[in-house]
Amino acid sequence: MPTDFDILVIGAGQAGLSAGYHLQRLGLRPEQDFLIVDHAPGPGGAWQFRWPSLTLTTVNRVHDLPGMSFAETLPPGSESAPAATAVPHYYELYEKRFDLRVHRQVSVKVVCDRTEDGSPAERGPVLNAETDAAGTIRVRGLINGTGTWEHPFIPRYRGAETFAGRQLHTHDYRSAAEFAGKHVVIVGGGVSAVQLLDEISQVTSTTWVTRTEPIFRDASFGPEDGRAAVAKVEDRVRRGLPPGSVVSVTGLRLDDRLRAAKERGALRRLPMFDHIEPDGVRWADGTFQHADVILWATGFRSALDHLAPLRLRGPGGGITMTGRLATQVAADPRIHLIGYGPSASTIGANRAGRAAAVELTEFLRAG
């Protein structure tokens, strides 16, 4: 197994698979010119870890990867199959059809520039990706598609460490049934928060808190709105700001399920509490709510720790991005981030994979 390639793709989720597909179309060969690694045990990207009640009817939409239909891989009658089985099955068939040869259970621990003697270099011609299971992989360019799933974000609230009940993030949610008979405080104003609130409020009592008043949209969310939302996030990353949440610019779509939840009073929202006590949460005006469980549905951040030695982050805390779809790191054109910021959706990941493959190949051929 060689360790030198033109391009390393880290992550075989929607973004990494799209990149692999397009690299091949550009004439690059898997395991010779480029290599895809992923540290998960099987195909499916983060989808293999989603909670069982997230089904193909409750996800927003999983767009087809380039060149192969998702629907055609679904057995009849599986329209409401769990996303955690249907999507990995699709990706598995996809990898086989396009012979992408993903190297699994290979974790990239660190990517850095180093000179031959191992000392840090300003910027060498080679990027070293140090892995746990495949040694150091030396490449000229990097397409990073490591997603957000592995970086659940929990904001800090005073007293959190004193809480005697259970705290968990959506990342670790499995089913509403485990909360029966307990009072659950759900924190967060995103799509996952309202979906889990809907499920849990059907089996037990809940309190829903969000930082800002959630905006529900009645009209269905059209392509125009989608483009506007993506443009706002793209503008932020081009200016070097952290991407921010897409829901903050789209609002929450009030579908039939959420409308029913609203009618039964489950979507009554309170502002954020001030702090956490051993047996509940307290607001600044002294109001107290007993809680057995605090569910943090407070989103995810990009999983980019392995890129830290490259010092890509600017003073604004974000990474300044450039290129046609803002996938290229402005300070280091050898590196593309896909599924990041404006491309953190299945359709965005598809497009970003293509843009990164085309631009990085052009860049390396020119160099």
If you compute the radius of gyration of the chain from its CA atoms, what whole number of angstroms results? 22
d(CA 169, CA 291): 15
Task: Return the residue of 8, 14, 20, 24 that touches ligand FAD, per CB under 6 A.
Answer: 14
d(CA 290, CA 238): 44
C-alpha dist (Å) from residue 276 to 122, 273, 283:
46, 8, 9
The torsion angles phi and psi of 339, rounded to 5 degrees, stand at 75, 15
322 binds ligand FAD (CB under 6 A): no
- 223 burial (CB, 10 Å; 0-12 / 13-18 / 19+) is exposed
| C-beta of 11 vs 323, nearer to ligand FAD | 11
60 binds ligand FAD (CB under 6 A): yes
Enter the tokens of residue 196: 């889990």
| Residue 65: Cβ within 10 Å count | 23
Q: Maximum distance among all alpha carbons in the chain?
A: 67
Within 329-358, the residues that bind ligand FAD by CB under 6 A are 339, 344-346, 349
Contact predicate 113/73, CB 8 Å: no
Stretch that binds ligand FAD, among 139-147, 219-227, 260-268, 276-284 (CB under 6 A): 139-147
> Which 8-state DSSP code applies to residue 184?
E
258 binds ligand FAD (CB under 6 A): no
**Shortest distance, CB of residue 183 to ligand FAD, whole angstroms?**
24
Three-state secondary structure call for residue 68: coil
20 binds ligand FAD (CB under 6 A): no
Within 96-125, the residues that bind ligand FAD by CB under 6 A are 107-108
- Helical H segments across the chain, by residue range: 14-25, 83-97, 191-200, 223-238, 247-250, 256-263, 346-366
Which secondary-structure segment (H or E) carries 162?
none
Stretch that binds ligand FAD, among 7-15, 23-31, 177-185, 355-363 (CB under 6 A): 7-15
d(CA 357, CA 364): 11
CA 69 to chain centre: 22
Binding-site residue total for ligand FAD (CB under 6 A)?
34
39 binds ligand FAD (CB under 6 A): yes
d(CA 112, CA 48): 29
Task: Return the residue of 50, 169, 236, 334 that touches ligand FAD, per CB under 6 A.
Answer: 50
In the block, tokens 């990474």 appear at 319
**Shortest distance, CB of residue 193 to ligand FAD, whole angstroms?**
11
Within 185-214, the residues that bind ligand FAD by CB under 6 A are 192
**Shortest distance, CB of residue 294 to ligand FAD, whole angstroms?**
19
Within 62-101, the residues that bind ligand FAD by CB under 6 A are 62
Task: Return the residue of 30, 141, 145, 318 that touches ligand FAD, per CB under 6 A.
Answer: 145
**Shortest distance, CB of residue 30 to ligand FAD, whole angstroms?**
16
306 binds ligand FAD (CB under 6 A): yes
328 binds ligand FAD (CB under 6 A): no
Question: What is the pattern of x (binds ligand FAD, CB under 6 A) and - over residues 220-249?
Answer: ------------------------------
Task: Return the residue of 68, 121, 149, 314 that touches ligand FAD, per CB under 6 A.
Answer: 149
304 binds ligand FAD (CB under 6 A): no
Residues of the shown chain interacting with ligand FAD in the complex, contacts defined by CB under 6 A: 10-16, 37-40, 45-46, 50, 59-62, 107-108, 145-147, 149-150, 192, 300, 303, 306, 339, 344-346, 349
